[in-house]
Amino acid sequence: MPIATTNPATGQVLKTYDPMSDEQVDAAIERADLAFRQLRDTSFAQRARWLTAAADLLDAERDATARLMTTEMGKTYAAAQAEVTKCATACRFYAANAERMLADEPADAPAVKATRAFVRYQPIGPVLAVMPWNFPLWQVMRFAAPALMAGNTGLLKHASNVPQTALYLEDLFRRAGFPEGAFSTLLVGSDVVDRILADPRVRAATLTGSEAAGRSIAASAGRELKKTVLELGGSDPFVVMPSADLDKAAEVATTARCQNNGQSCIAAKRFIVHTDVFDAFAEKFAARMSALRVGDPMDSGTDVGPLASERGRDDVHAQVQDAVDNGATVLCGGEKPAGDGWFYPPTVVTDLKPGMRMWSEEVFGPVAGLYRAASYDEAIEIANGTNFGLGSNAWTEDPAEQERFATDLDAGNVFINGMTTSYPELPFGGVKNSGYGRELSAVGMREFCNTKTVWIGAGEAGAGAGAHAE
């Protein structure tokens, strides 16, 4: 894929970049390695000052940065502004809490023969971050802020369609005061990722992206015995039960499906509605979806901007067409608009069946699949009947049912009477083909730390020496 900024609202190529040479990549890895030796020895207080400076810059530069993101990938300007603010908030959160999150932890119980035993969390070195374009600032920041606070350094291989946001991020951390090389952007294609991963100075990798990219990076990292965290796709269920507040559920369902022009891994994608309230919900939901305004993402009246690429838009339309060709019903939308830009209307499709692409694939655009369930058990069966397991939503006022959903939904998170989102203070990640490992919170921060056991004794052999000396 060429490394270029192409405005999805017009299809115009605005700026292209030559990929970095092997020598330039090697030099960046060397700088990341040298910066790590410096960063790991700085205090939490010093790193917090730098990260707080980054937050201040983000706040001060919010509008220009938001405009850049909207131009590169088409999210609405308002959503882009909110994304910048979310990044600044996360920086402040990790600046304030990292030291506590990574403090030494005493052993669960007095360790045998130790005078003192504890766990110490230490940074591991340069981490390669392969990132997607859909939240071009936030996806990177949710890796970078905790990683830098832990004392690691970052090498960013961003998606090829958001090079200017990628360069902005490198510049942001430099201007905030982090040492040269602490965070570097590598303008390279995905074909160079294996070579970077094989470099002994690169200690681990995190990828947010598609299942295919996840499989590829996990295989390469496996060969190199390097740890990976994978945040992959999702086809999140949104279950509506008879006790739910249907107006509220339909309102949130619309936002949950169409946020970021429908291009979010944790967007609700499959709406599974109890048969008692199916017709009422379907009517409210389709009415709200059709009322959304599609258009110029810079216009404050726009709810849904263009999809990020022509290929993405064509693929979404092909998924809808496949369902229609095989007997599904379109309640609203479903027509590919003519004209410039990669727009697609909010669409609701029902009467879906196994074998249709929409049944099993992630739909990365403003298209909702609507499913009917005769009971709680059938709702769970449909919800979990997917290879994905990222987010999940259930709407019910019944406390016993809420408890059951919390346990029975097979996903990395369950949001009851609300919409899945990510918070700096809560772990984020998936199960099954949605990936493994976690980002955010102390759990995410420790993914790229050495969880080091420290045992301090009085000169005797440790616990179980001899028979269990392993």
Binding residues vs ligand NAP (CB under 6 A): 1, 130-134, 139, 157-160, 189-190, 193, 208-210, 213, 216-217, 231-234, 265, 362, 364, 390, 430, 435
Structure tokens at 40: 């790991």
Closer CB to ligand NAP, 89 or 216, in the complex: 216
Q: Looking up tokens 């097979």, which residue turns up?
A: 410
Could you say which of 87, 91, 265, 332 is catalytic? 265
Closer CB to ligand NAP, 53 or 202, in the complex: 202
Structure tokens at 309: 């690429």
∠ Cα 187 436 393 (to 5°):
105
* Burial class for 468, CB neighbours closer than 10 Å (0-12, 13-18, 19+): exposed
End-to-end CA distance of the chain: 49
Could you say which of 231, 361, 401, 447 is catalytic? 231
The least CB distance from residue 108 to ligand NAP, in Å, is 31
Closer CB to ligand NAP, 189 or 464, in the complex: 189
The least CB distance from residue 369 to ligand NAP, in Å, is 15
The least CB distance from residue 274 to ligand NAP, in Å, is 27
The least CB distance from residue 211 to ligand NAP, in Å, is 7
Closer CB to ligand NAP, 134 or 396, in the complex: 134
Distance (Å, rounded) from C-alpha 74 to C-alpha 392? 26
* Residue 229: CA count within 13 A, CB half-sphere: 25
Residue count of the chain:
470
Distance (Å, rounded) from C-alpha 157 to C-alpha 189? 8
Closer CB to ligand NAP, 102 or 265, in the complex: 265
The least CB distance from residue 131 to ligand NAP, in Å, is 6
Nearest to 293 by CA among 257, 363, 343, 339: 343
Nearest to 271 by CA among 399, 371, 187: 371
The least CB distance from residue 421 to ligand NAP, in Å, is 11
Closer CB to ligand NAP, 332 or 358, in the complex: 358
**Has 224 been annotated as catalytic?**
no
Q: Which residues contact 432 (CB under 8 A, 6 or more apart)?
A: 386, 387, 388, 389, 410
**Has 83 been annotated as catalytic?**
no
Q: Which residue is nearest to ligand NAP (CB)?
A: 209
Distance (Å, rounded) from C-alpha 428 to C-alpha 438? 5
What backbone torsions phi and psi does residue 277 show, to the nearest 5 degrees? -120, 10
Nearest to 183 by CA among 203, 169, 201, 202: 169
Q: Looking up tokens 């249709």, which residue turns up?
A: 356
Just list the catalytic residues.
231, 265
